[in-house]
């Protein structure tokens, strides 16, 4: 039988296949969107034909495409929609930027900027300003007296609440905010000595409601904006070697419509597996809603190998008033992209049990509720085994050895966010556990117990190699403290979590996650070998080329 001629041959580097039968190779051939040969250069070159594109990777390392296990892909491109204040180091510099925007904006039209501070975490605000204070409406009025000006607050999870937003006098007037305005739950309107609003809003809610309530008049992300942002987001993620995302936090209808249109336009270059964000209000409507949802989202759901929608995200706990405000704001979801819910134990159990009986995959954020969620899942598993449904503990933040054993027995999966909970604020998280840092993101134990898991960025920031580094190093970025060294992943284990673990999460482990004959040609050509290069170099590396199904979606040539 004749060998299939290759569309692509990659040679001149090192191939980390993640295939135990041949872990390392020197060359790789792709045809018809799949890997057809992996091996030595001469062996693979036999696939060369007249139309074959031969790429000398010049000593680079080739790995299977990375899967961001909790990406919020739709959000990244939105960060460039409005002008950034990141370089501003004083209120005067903020005013200078606003003046320039005002000069280019018709009078009376909105001027909206990104938050005060430095991305991705905005931890330096307002201390990073020479003034050591937040701007006020008076500062914005001086720069643009004839425009409504609004300085957006951060998305709370980029750092943590409180979140500060600032509106000018004209913006407050457009929004109808006066000295008599009553703020919604968790929101504070700062006032001067005479009782007038200063223009500064302080929000203490984890999920922000300001732009759904008091500042609903401010410009919003439109469908067209979100569509353009999704295209830009893919470029940014692909530049790190990401080829697929899993969105277990749930996707709201307005964002699902964007994914669908992008796919129809052939603008969805990465693979996306999305869970549905429930839009119903509590358990009362759940029976009908879940029945309807199961008709198309049960099992592997609907879609193809580029866009698939399956399962739901069910929240445990939450703030009922915040959830009500955000439900009332539908279909708009702001930065979130999902619909916030609040479920007590009874409501959550009712919905989760029904979902299991209908064959629906359930994703639940277990950041602070693992003990309660496990108890409910064990009740349900006594009736309906969960392993075949591939339920997911999203944001598995901390777990005791006993809880890990229970997770293993349930046969469920997990995702973790090493950037936030190990690198950005690991020392603070460990302190919450009474110093039991080995309980914090216990990756090594997950691997030892063979609990399937994937690593995620949670879009803070969109760099999965930083998550890789955090899982391997377990070092708090501010203090340099190592947090539970015994739970460090080896580099090989971390790479497997990014590839094989992600493929399992997206129910594609027989198709993706390895570079072996027959597997999809999802791959990344990297600047640095993640198994041997200095860890800090790996943490900030980019891909030279990223391919999905034989199609190049990023090329840094």
Measure the CA–CA gap between 175 and 290, rounded to whole angstroms: 37
Distance (Å, whole) CA 300 – CA 388 = 11
In contact, 270 and 92? CB cutoff 8 Å:
no
- Under DSSP, is residue 325 helix (H, G, I), strand (E, B) or coil? helix
Angle, helices 253-264 vs 223-238, to 10°: value is 70
Residue 530 domain-assigned?
yes
Residue 282's pLDDT is 62
pLDDT at 41 over 50: yes
**Do 155 and 287 reside in the same domain of the chain?**
no
Residue 82 clears pLDDT 60, i.e. is over it: yes
What are the tokens at 238? 């692909």
Mean pLDDT of 515-534: 98
Please give the tally of structural domains in the chain. Answer: 2
Token pair, residue 355, equals: 């979902």
pLDDT at 259: 98
End residue of a domain, out of 212, 247, 272: 212
57 found inside a domain: no
**Is the pTM of the predicted complex or chain greater than 0.85?**
yes
Whether residues 116 and 196 share a domain: the answer is yes
Q: How far is CA 477 from the centre of its chain?
A: 20
Share of the chain above pLDDT 90, in %: 97
Average pLDDT over residues 299-319: 96
Q: Is the pLDDT of residue 283 over 90?
A: no
In angstroms, rounded to a whole number, what is the distance separating the alpha carbons of residues 11 and 25? 9
The answer to whether position 64 is within a domain reads no
pLDDT in tens, 449-506: 999 999 999 999 999 999 999 999 999 999 999 999 999 999 999 999 999 999 999 9
Last residue of a domain, one of 177, 212, 247: 212
Determine if the peptide bond prior to 417 is cis (ω within 30°): no
Backbone angles phi, psi at 183, to 5 degrees: -85, 150
- The closest of 493, 366, 370, 476 to 426, measured between CA atoms, is 476
Q: Is residue 8 part of a domain?
A: no
Q: 278 and 410, same structural domain? A: yes
Mean pLDDT of 302-311: 97
Q: What is the mean pLDDT of the chain?
A: 96
pLDDT surpasses 90 at 507: yes
Which pLDDT tens digit goes with each residue over 508-523?
A: 999 999 999 999 999 9
Taking the C-alpha atoms of residue 224 and residue 222, their distance in angstroms, rounded to an integer, is 5
Looking at the predicted structure, is the pLDDT value of residue 284 above 80?
Answer: no
How many Cβ atoms sit within 10 Å of the Cβ of residue 522? 33
In a domain, 13, yes or no: no
Task: Please report which helix (H) or strand (E) contains residue 409, including its range.
Answer: helix 401-410
Question: Do 228 and 208 lie in a common domain?
Answer: no
- 184-243 confidence digits (pLDDT tens): 999 999 999 999 999 999 999 999 999 999 999 999 999 999 999 999 999 999 999 999
Domain boundaries, position 551: 223-555
Q: Do 173 and 249 share a domain, yes or no?
A: no
Are the C-beta atoms of residues 496 and 448 closer than 8 Å to each other? Answer: no
The residue behind tokens 């604020």 is: 425
Q: What percent of the chain has pLDDT over 70?
A: 99
Confidence label for 285 from pLDDT (cuts 50, 70 and 90): confident
Q: Quick one: CA torsion of 520, 443, 539, 456, rounded to 10 degrees?
A: 60
Here the tokens at position 425 are 């604020």
Structural Rg of the chain based on CA atoms: 24
Task: Say what the pLDDT of residue 1 is.
Answer: 36
- Residue 281: pLDDT band (50, 70, 90) is confident
Q: Which residues contact 416 (CB under 8 A, 6 or more apart)?
A: 69, 395, 396, 397, 441, 443, 453, 454, 455, 456, 471
pLDDT at residue 286 above 90? no
**What is the tens place of the pLDDT at every residue in 417-442?**
999 999 999 999 999 999 999 999 99
Domain co-membership, 343 together with 312: yes
Looking at the structure, do residues 198 and 319 belong to the same domain, yes or no? Answer: no
Residue at 67 is within a domain: no
Task: For residue 443, give the CATH number of its domain.
Answer: 3.20.20.140
Flag whether 68 is in a domain: no
Is residue 128 domain-shared with residue 277, that is, in the same domain?
A: no
**72 assigned to some structural domain:** no
Residue 542 shares a structural domain with residue 510 = yes
Are 238 and 178 in a shared domain?
A: no
pLDDT at 157: 93
Same domain, 207 and 245: no
Asked whether residue 199 falls in the same domain as residue 236, the answer is: no
| 453-455 and 413-416 beta bridge pairing | parallel
pLDDT for the residue 448:
98
Domain boundary among 158, 192, 212: 212
Average pLDDT over residues 329-354: 95
């Amino acid at each position: 039988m004749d060998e299939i001629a290759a569309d692509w041959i990659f040679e001149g580097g090192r191939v980390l296949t993640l295939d135990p039968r041949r872990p390392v190779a020197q060359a790789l051939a792709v045809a018809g969107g799949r890997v057809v040969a992996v091996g030595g250069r001469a062996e693979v070159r036999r696939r060369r034909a007249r139309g074959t594109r031969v790429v000398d990777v010049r000593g680079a390392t080739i790995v299977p495409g990375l899967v961001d296990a909790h990406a919020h892909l739709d959000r990244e491109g939105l960060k460039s929609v409005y002008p950034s204040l990141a370089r501003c180091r004083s209120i005067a510099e903020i005013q200078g930027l606003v003046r320039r925007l005002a000069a280019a904006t018709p009078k009376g039209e909105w001027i909206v900027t990104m938050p005060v501070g430095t991305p991705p975490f905005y931890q330096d605000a307002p201390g990073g300003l020479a003034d050591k204070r937040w701007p006020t409406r008076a500062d914005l009025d001086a720069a643009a007296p004839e425009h409504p000006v609004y300085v957006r607050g951060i998305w709370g999870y980029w750092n943590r609440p409180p979140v500060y937003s600032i509106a000018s006098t004209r913006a407050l007037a457009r929004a109808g905010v006066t000295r008599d305005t009553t703020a919604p739950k968790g929101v504070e309107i700062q006032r001067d000595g005479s009782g007038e609003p200063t223009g500064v809003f302080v929000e203490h809610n984890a999920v922000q409601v300001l732009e759904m309530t008091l500042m609903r008049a401010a410009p919003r992300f439109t469908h067209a904006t979100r569509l353009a942002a999704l295209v830009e987001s893919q470029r940014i993620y692909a530049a790190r070697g990401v080829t697929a995302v899993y969105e277990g936090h749930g996707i709201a209808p307005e964002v699902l419509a964007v994914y669908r249109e992008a796919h129809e336009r052939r603008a969805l270059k990465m693979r996306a597996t999305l869970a549905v964000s429930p839009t119903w209000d509590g358990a009362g409507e759940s029976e009908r809603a879940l029945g309807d949802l199961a008709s198309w989202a049960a099992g592997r759901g609907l879609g193809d190998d580029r866009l698939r929608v399956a399962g739901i995200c069910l929240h445990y706990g939450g703030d009922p008033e915040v959830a009500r405000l955000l439900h009332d704001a539908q279909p708009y979801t702001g930065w979130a992209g999902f619909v916030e819910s609040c479920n007590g134990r009874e409501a959550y159990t009712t919905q989760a049990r029904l979902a299991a009986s209908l064959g629906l995959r359930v994703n639940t954020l277990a950041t602070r509720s693992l003990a309660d969620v496990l108890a409910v899942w064990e009740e349900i598993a006594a009736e309906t085994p969960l392993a075949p449904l591939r339920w997911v503990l999203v944001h598995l933040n901390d777990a005791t050895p006993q809880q890990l054993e229970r997770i293993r027995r349930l046969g469920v999966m997990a995702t973790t966010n090493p950037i936030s909970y190990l690198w950005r604020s690991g020392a603070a998280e460990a302190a919450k556990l009474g110093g039991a840092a080995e309980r914090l993101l216990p990756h090594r134990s997950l691997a030892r117990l063979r609990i399937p898991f994937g690593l995620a960025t949670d879009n803070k920031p969109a760099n999965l190699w930083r998550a890789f580094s955090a899982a391997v190093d377990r070092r708090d970025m501010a203090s340099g403290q190592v947090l539970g060294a015994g739970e460090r992943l080896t580099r090989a284990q971390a790479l497997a979590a990014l590839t094989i673990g992600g493929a399992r999460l997206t129910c594609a482990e027989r198709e993706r996650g390895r570079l072996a004959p027959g597997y999809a040609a999802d791959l990344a050509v990297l600047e640095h070998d993640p198994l041997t290069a200095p860890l800090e170099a790996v943490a900030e590396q980019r891909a030279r080329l990223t391919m999905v199904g034989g199609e190049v979606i990023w090329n840094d040539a």
